Structure 1
Amino acid sequence: MGVEGQDKQKMLQAGALALSGQLGATVQRLRKAYNLSLSELSSQSGVAKSIISQIERNETNPTLATIWRLAQALDVSIERVLQTTEDGPFLEKTSKADTPILVSDDGKCRLEIIGWIKTVEWLQCYEFAAAPGGVLESEAHQRGSVESLSVRDGELEVEVAGAKSSVKAGETLRYRCDRPHIIRNLGKTPAQATMVCILKAAVME
């Protein structure tokens, strides 16, 4: 690996560390805001107390499933808000600093989780950004699921089961995501898009 490659690797590691640190701080801040102990959050989320502690101290890189379980557990206060203010408007704002971010294996793609945690089992929303050459490989979602990718800047290529299609700025591509699928930025400029995943549960209802 040359000097340029080493610098790039250091940048990716630094970025991953920064994102990890943000996640740990967010989990700890929300847990304390809700007056939850590590044991109580572990009980509500199904995530081991030791894992939560490691996440808060930035000593581990949690899986997406773990992040979802913690997020759902930390969102219990929303139900109380809705129950106590049934006749009033419901407004909830999330700051950019508190928006969870996922990074692809190659470090070139970022997914900001902008959807509401309460809908994650049937509707997921993300802000997607891919640097030139970025590749996001995703496992199959549950059978019958559909993904919608609306590109704002650049051009992306989507591959599903060997079939490929490109989607440019101003276009939206919908495709089955109940099989492994890949999103690539083959262009020379960054690409940005909004991604919405509708899971089978929504279709069934």
Structure 2
Amino acid sequence: MNEENIDLSGQVGVNLREIRKNKRMSLEELANVSNVSKLTLGKIERGETNPTVNILWKICRGLNIPLVSLLTFEEHTEVHRFGSEYQFAGHNNDWFVEPLFKTHGSEWYRGCIEPNSKYSECHLAGSEEIVLVLNGQLELKVGEKCHQLNQWDVIKFKGEELHTYINRSNEKVHLMLSLTYTTP
């Protein structure tokens, strides 16, 4: 597959439909368990919309699958260029995550949090997240505990716990993220 020809939204739709059908779920059933409207789910499956990362996480929690399951492409060698257009944005466009790789139960992402903003998320039960700060300073709140992280600092925590990425600076903070699931 030529990286210039990747249609991420279309692939997400194809993968979502296949996973939903394999689980023998209707769009309505998926809408009920994910809190994403049936109309939105249909548009995603048809590749008519580019869903936000928030919507994708809701769908994944509803299906009880890792996010990368929706983002998988069949390739043996993958190159992901920095600054590619294949990013998913948070609700306020202040958090961006770019899916990179899936390897033996782990998912790899490149992330960016905009200046003076924050983003919160939690993942499937049994997940573990590792975050590497590539530049700047990041405050990461995991549960009730806050961690001040600087460039090249790495943190590992239970991904199922509510966690908030906070950028209090006037510069973008770039991150590498890894999610590992007990059931890939």
TM-score, normalising length: structure 2: 0.64
Task: Name 1:200's counterpart in structure 2.
Answer: 182
Question: What amino acid does structure 2 have at the position aligned with 1:171?
Answer: D
Task: Name 1:54's counterpart in structure 2.
Answer: 43
Compare the two structures and name the one with the higher strand fraction.
Answer: 2
- Deviation (angstroms), 1:92: 3.6
Question: What amino acid does structure 2 have at the position aligned with 1:54?
Answer: K
Do the aligned residues in 2 keep the contact of 1:155 with 1:169 (CA within 8 Å)?
yes
For structure 1, list consecutive stretches of 5 or more residues without a partner in the other structure.
Answer: 1-23, 32-37, 82-89
Asked if 1:126 is matched to 2:109, the reply is yes
1:135 paired residue among 115, 118, 128: 118
Return closer, same or farther for 1:154/1:102 CA change in 2, 3 Å cut-off. same
CA distance in 1, matches of 2:50, 2:141: 34
CA distance in 1, matches of 2:131, 2:41: 33
Larger radius of gyration: 1
Compare the two structures and name the one with the higher helix fraction.
Answer: 1
Question: What amino acid does structure 2 have at the position aligned with 1:45?
Answer: I
Seq. identity, %:
11
Q: Indicate the RMSD between aligned Cα atoms, in angstroms.
A: 3.7
CA distance in 2, matches of 1:178, 1:41: 23
Do the aligned residues in 2 keep the contact of 1:130 with 1:192 (CA within 8 Å)?
yes
Return closer, same or farther for 1:95/1:189 CA change in 2, 3 Å cut-off. closer
User: Within 5 Å, which residues of 2 pair with 1:76-87?
Assistant: 78=74
Task: Name 1:169's counterpart in structure 2.
Answer: 151
- Deviation (angstroms), 1:132: 1.2
TM-score, normalising length: structure 1: 0.58
- Deviation (angstroms), 1:44: 2.5
For structure 2, list consecutive stretches of 5 or more residues without a partner in the other structure.
Answer: 1-5, 22-26, 28-38, 61-66
Task: Name 2:36's counterpart in structure 1.
Answer: none
Do the aligned residues in 2 keep the contact of 1:141 with 1:179 (CA within 8 Å)?
no
